[in-house]
Amino acid sequence: MGCPGGAMNRSFFAGVGCSLASLVGLVMFVALFGDNMRRLFGSSADALAGASAPQASKSLRSFGENSAYDEVQAVMAPPPVMAEPQIEMEVEGGMPGFANEPRRARAVVVKDDARKGGGGAEADATPSRAWFPETFLFEPLVVTDASGAATVPVRVPDRLTQWRVLALAHSRSGAQSGAVTSFTGTLPTYVDPVLPAFLRAGDAVRMPVQVMNTTDAAVEAPLKVEVPGALVEGGSRTVRVPAHGSVVEYVTVRVSTPGQVAVRAALGATDAVVRDFPVWATGRPVVETRGGTLAAPRSLSLTGAVDAQPGSERVRVRVFPGGLGVLRSELLNASGREDAAGVGYSLLLAGRAPELLSALGETRSAEALKALSTPGQRLKAPVPPESGEVDVESVRAGLMRATQRALRWSRAPDVATAALLAEGALAHPDNPVLARLGERLAAQVAAAQLPDGTCQGGAGWTLQRLLVATADCTRAVNAAAVTPEGKRRAAFFTARASGALERNRAHVKDGYTAAALLASGAVTGSLRDSLREQVRDAVQRRDEGAAFLPVEEGVVDATGGTPTEAEATALAVLALEGDAKAPVADLGAALLASYEPVNGWGNGRANRLALQAVVSLFREPLPAQVRVVLERDGQVITEGTFDAKALREVLSLEAAAPGSGGAHTWTVRAEPAVPGLGFALALSAAVPWTQQAQAGMELSVQVPSDAKVGQPSEVTLQASTPSGLPLVIRHGLPAGVQVDTASLEALVREGKVASWQSEDGAVTLRLHPRGPGEPFQARFRVIPTLAGTLQGGASSLMTLSRPDLVSYVPPATWAVR
């Protein structure tokens, strides 16, 4: 791809200036701003009618927290002809105040000739453009050589647009500079189908296809549109495009089954493009799930929906890494949590990360994290993370955020909050701020111990909650037993707490409370053995062999909330560790299967306990590669390879599974078998909708009978609802139908709805609690942007307090002209 006047080969950093004698890093960021044809046409009826493409303008603000780039332009007017691209970027010259001798840094961006789905020019006279990311390069750390030069080979996408390249550089001494350049990619004549965000099975849509001519002469060429798996009407024709002009042609596409659909549009021998979009099922989704570990082949019995709509049956297997992989993933994500439990967990995770990483064999990252544990201390040189390793600087930034949040939470904390934060703060003995904070919080918790040895308590507390709170307090006070005063305080607190727990042993009726007391470290001897037996008896098993500790009705944690099953299962692992009679490996299997890379195990309390349990159980490193195979009744459905170098990721295998209705045997196996890998299997399908109304809840929907592209139409919702309950209405919209935000905002101003939210294919309304016998009725406008026969989605009415009570309205068919 070239720039005006030929291929770019110039010093675009000249004039910016930066002393680079001691340059250690060049940060590059390449992003697309503009040429998002689907959004442009999806929001404009004029564009659908054939108007020429507009210029796109977007603003990028607060990139990296300090810079602001306003009015970043991407002009979609005819740019120069595509050429072999090479981008050479240099930094040279000096900056006032820099003591070092000026040097030059250069980064070269070179296009990879390989094209996804198209091949090279030798392979096909009309190679297909098929790779369209909007940002195709982000290099957070590029280390230059001694002369200040670095080369970054990249593959340029197939979008025909103007690209912007942002490069930032800093020296070892802290000096910074940067610059922005751009390059353009285009063709003399090209074709671009305007795809919807989605379609539903059974839709028939008039799809616009734009043809552009950037040359000085009119062009006449054959246009061919193909959609494998769908019926295309009018897909072959000859088009004539004036010089420096464009035309919009329409083809009718009918889709019958759900799945991913690829559209290939070719303009003679000059251009061909392949784009895809999903086709959604129209039925009600039903899902069956199972989980376990891959220590051995797992055979599971699942019963699929017998009335599944054709093409809607799919199966997905997610494979979760063992202890090291989960630890890396959590180090990447934990800093985003802001509640007290989440902040305490983030501090604890960052503080114990060096120890845990060393135990799991990753000494390089452990040493780097340890070097950054003291405020103000930095590595002598940046340590770029190798494949799968921990990004040390990201952990440091997360620790700083967690520290700030901990200080806010600790201004006037109650005892429960102090107990949540103390252990995390005390995990940083070399950080004077956190160490003093942890000591203060631990002292506050110790002072809350009552004469009978219990901790916290108050009006309305049950004895079960008091015992769990006492266990939490014991763990927090023991975390501060690193000084003579802390050891004395912890010994005194634990002795009194142990007596209180022993006196109330007869009142411990559930496995969760028994596990919490064991995990606190305050019970020993015969009391420990008795509680372990109670936990073992409470553990239950699932069909696939994974074990879990259920939470009985009425059981609460120290804050009064209902603990999650993941938290209870993690407590069971910690409570039964070292018990030869306990199924700790199967409990760990349930934890791995319930892990989510972003949310962990759901909340700070569960994350803290579950990560400790997983790391303890699955310390062995994974093999370099593990082959994962999914079979149904002995036939391979899908398979994939889990790469130990990408432990941060979760391997996801998904495939169509027609014929899964009724009972079948599914087998998941790893080659070789690995105890530290957990899996979650989900079998999904869509079944026909039926009108459903719960007691006291009924919803009706009236959609437009004669809608037109670009013109507002009205949707009417009516509902009979219980009194005094906040409700949610979710209305499914057809493809290409956008809500008119002004009409929804008017409903909020009138007090008819509390808030609203829109997305592709649906709008959600939150309703205020209504009085006895008070009906609900609301109208809002929508604007269709696609013509055709389009299937809407189902609509639902449910209460926030009882999400299991839902009233459904089956989908309606829209006719849009």
Three-state SS at 651: strand
**What residue has token string 């209504």?**
770
Residue 7 has pLDDT above 50, yes or no: no
Angle, vertex CA 775, rays to CA 769 and CA 721, nearest 5 = 55
Q: Which residue has the higher pLDDT, 794 or 3?
A: 794
Task: State how far the Cα of 231 lies from the Cα of 208, in Å rounded to an integer.
Answer: 16
Task: State how far the Cα of 128 lies from the Cα of 120, in Å rounded to an integer.
Answer: 9
Q: Position 149: which residue type?
A: A
Asked if residue 513 lies in contact with residue 558, where contact means CB atoms within 8 angstroms, the answer is: no
Question: What's the maximum distance between 2 C-alpha atoms anywhere in the chain?
Answer: 95
Three-state SS at 434: helix
What does the pLDDT average to over 524-539? Answer: 91
> DSSP letter string over 212-277?
EE-SSS-EEEEEEEE-TTSEEES-EEEEEE-TTEEEEEEEEEE--S-EEEEEEEEETTTEEEEEEE
For 426, phi then psi, to 5°, come to -75, -10
Buried/exposed code over 567-598 (b: 16+ C-beta within 10 A; e: otherwise) = bbbbbbbbbbeebeebbbbbbbbbbbbbbebe
Residue 632 has pLDDT above 50, yes or no: yes
Three-state SS at 83: coil
For residue 48, the model assigns a pLDDT of 31
Whole-angstrom Cα Rg for the chain: 31
Q: Position 242: which residue type?
A: P
Other C-beta atoms closer than 10 Å to the C-beta of 484 total 8
For residue 84, the model assigns a pLDDT of 35
**What residue has token string 């009205």?**
714
Q: Which residue has the higher pLDDT, 136 or 90?
A: 136
Q: Which residue has the higher pLDDT, 721 or 114?
A: 721
Q: Which two tokens stand for residue 688?
A: 């026909």
Predicted TM-score (pTM) of the model is 0.58
For residue 55, the model assigns a pLDDT of 32
- DSSP alpha helices (H): ranges in 504-623? 511-519, 525-538, 565-576, 584-593, 604-617
Q: Which two tokens stand for residue 168?
A: 């930032």
Q: Which residue has the higher pLDDT, 622 or 629?
A: 629
In whole angstroms, what separates CA 363 from the centre of its chain?
28
Which range (45-54, 300-309, 652-661, 806-815) has the least confidence? 45-54
Residue 321 has pLDDT above 90, yes or no: no
Band (pLDDT 50/70/90 cuts) for residue 31 is very low
For residue 236, the model assigns a pLDDT of 94
Q: Which residue has the higher pLDDT, 696 or 646?
A: 696
Residue 25 has pLDDT above 60, yes or no: no
Band (pLDDT 50/70/90 cuts) for residue 242 is very high
What does the pLDDT average to over 774-792? Answer: 92
For residue 764, the model assigns a pLDDT of 94
Which range (103-117, 199-213, 793-807) has the least confidence? 103-117
User: E strands within 295-345?
Assistant: 298-304, 314-320
The 8 Å CB, 24+ separation contacts for 547-551 are: 547/583, 547/586, 547/587, 547/589, 547/590, 548/572, 548/587, 548/590, 549/511, 549/512, 549/515, 549/587, 550/511, 551/510, 551/512
Asked if residue 219 lies in contact with residue 189, where contact means CB atoms within 8 angstroms, the answer is: yes
For residue 530, the model assigns a pLDDT of 93
Task: State how far the Cα of 443 lies from the Cα of 440, in Å rounded to an integer.
Answer: 5
Q: Which two tokens stand for residue 60?
A: 């990028």
Q: Which two tokens stand for residue 66?
A: 């300090």
Residue 710 has pLDDT above 50, yes or no: yes
Which H or E element spans position 366? helix 363-371
Angle, vertex CA 415, rays to CA 411 and CA 420, nearest 5 = 80
Residue 32 has pLDDT above 60, yes or no: no
For 542, phi then psi, to 5°, come to -100, 175
Q: Which residues does residue 762 pair with via DSSP β-bridges, in sequence order?
A: 732, 759
Q: Which two tokens stand for residue 808?
A: 């459904």
Q: Which residues contact 21 (CB under 8 A, 6 or more apart)?
A: 100, 101, 102, 103, 148, 171
Task: State how far the Cα of 617 lies from the Cα of 598, in Å rounded to an integer.
Answer: 21
For residue 252, the model assigns a pLDDT of 95
Q: Which residue has the higher pLDDT, 275 or 141?
A: 275
Q: Which residues contact 395 (CB under 8 A, 6 or more apart)?
A: 331, 335, 350, 353, 369, 372
For residue 545, the model assigns a pLDDT of 63
**What residue has token string 């909708």?**
689
Three-state SS at 662: strand
Q: Which of 10-14, 166-170, 185-189, 261-265 has the highest mean pLDDT?
A: 261-265
Other C-beta atoms closer than 10 Å to the C-beta of 723 total 11
Q: What is the dihedral of CA 382, 384, 389, 391, to 10 degrees?
A: 60
User: E strands within 54-121?
Assistant: 56-63, 67-74, 86-91, 105-110
Task: State how far the Cα of 227 lies from the Cα of 275, in Å rounded to an integer.
Answer: 10
Residue 355 has pLDDT above 70, yes or no: yes
Q: Which residue has the higher pLDDT, 744 or 53?
A: 744
Q: Which two tokens stand for residue 312?
A: 């809607």
Q: Which residue has the higher pLDDT, 286 or 615?
A: 286
In whole angstroms, what separates CA 293 from the centre of its chain?
23
Residue 392 has pLDDT above 60, yes or no: yes
**What residue has token string 């690995």?**
674
> End-to-end alpha-carbon separation of the chain, Å?
40
What does the pLDDT average to over 653-670? Answer: 93
> In percent, how much of the chain has pLDDT > 90?
35
In whole angstroms, what separates CA 20 from the centre of its chain?
38
Band (pLDDT 50/70/90 cuts) for residue 532 is very high
In tens, the pLDDT along 438-494 reads: 899 999 999 989 999 999 888 889 999 999 999 989 988 988 888 888 899 999 999
**What residue has token string 């634990």?**
494
What does the pLDDT average to over 765-780? Answer: 87
What does the pLDDT average to over 54-59? Answer: 30
Q: Distances from the Cα of 424 to the Cαs of 343, 403, 777, in angstroms?
A: 8, 10, 51
For residue 351, the model assigns a pLDDT of 82
Q: Which residues does residue 239 pair with via DSSP β-bridges, in sequence order?
A: 221
For residue 585, the model assigns a pLDDT of 78
Residue 83 has pLDDT above 50, yes or no: no
For 487, phi then psi, to 5°, come to -65, -40
Ramachandran sector of residue 76 (left: φ over 0; alpha: ψ -120 to 50; beta: rest): alpha
For residue 334, the model assigns a pLDDT of 66
For residue 120, the model assigns a pLDDT of 38
Computed over every residue of the chain, the mean pLDDT equals: 77
Angle, vertex CA 286, rays to CA 284 and CA 292, nearest 5 = 160
In tens, the pLDDT along 323-337 reads: 777 777 777 776 667
Residue 599 DSSP code: T
In tens, the pLDDT along 568-585 reads: 999 999 999 888 888 887
Q: Which two tokens stand for residue 500?
A: 């209180």
Residue 380 has pLDDT above 80, yes or no: no
> What strands lie across the sheet with 713-720, from one edge to the other?
698-702, 713-720, 776-784, 737-739
> In percent, how much of the chain has pLDDT > 70?
76
Asked if residue 576 lies in contact with residue 532, where contact means CB atoms within 8 angstroms, the answer is: yes
Task: State how far the Cα of 125 lies from the Cα of 122, in Å rounded to an integer.
Answer: 7
Band (pLDDT 50/70/90 cuts) for residue 174 is confident
Q: Between β-strands 713-720 and 259-267, what pairing exists: parallel, antiparallel or unpaired?
A: unpaired
Q: Which two tokens stand for residue 807?
A: 């009233």
